[in-house]
């Protein structure tokens, strides 16, 4: 069973820049996820070279939390990633 976690990439960003995240299976980086500043467009780039826009519908269907709450992948995001990795 995979233990997936998502972490925001800490960098200085301008107001309208994309938000970027790393997705790990335990401590192994497996993908990079991004969304625009409004959450309208989003995509995922796997470290194996595959990429996809709009992986599971809207951004809020992929990641939850932020602010005072920890970031977590949704159940749909976890299922999507497991399927893409053939697990």
pLDDT digits (tens, 9 = 90+) for 19-76: 899 999 999 999 999 998 777 889 999 999 999 988 888 888 999 998 899 999 999 9
Q: Which residues is 34 bridged to in the sheet?
A: 20, 43
pLDDT at residue 72, as a whole number = 95
CB 30 within 8 A of CB 85: yes
- Token readout for 81 is 């990633």
Q: Which residue shows structure tokens 């976890």?
A: 78
User: Would you place residue 18 in the very low, low, confident or very high pLDDT band (cuts 50, 70, 90)?
Assistant: confident
3-state helix, strand, coil in the chain (%, to 5): 15, 45, 45
Q: Which residue shows structure tokens 């595959």?
A: 50
CA distance 58 to 38: 11
């Amino acid at each position: 069973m995979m233990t997936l976690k998502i972490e925001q990439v800490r960098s200085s960003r301008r107001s309208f820049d994309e938000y970027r995240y790393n997705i790990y299976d335990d401590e192994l980086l497996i993908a990079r996820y991004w969304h625009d500043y409004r959450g309208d467009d989003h995509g995922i780039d796997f470290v194996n070279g595959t990429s996809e826009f709009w992986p599971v519908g809207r951004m809020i269907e992929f990641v939850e939390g932020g602010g005072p709450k920890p970031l977590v992948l949704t159940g749909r995001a976890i299922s999507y990633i497991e399927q893409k990795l053939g697990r």
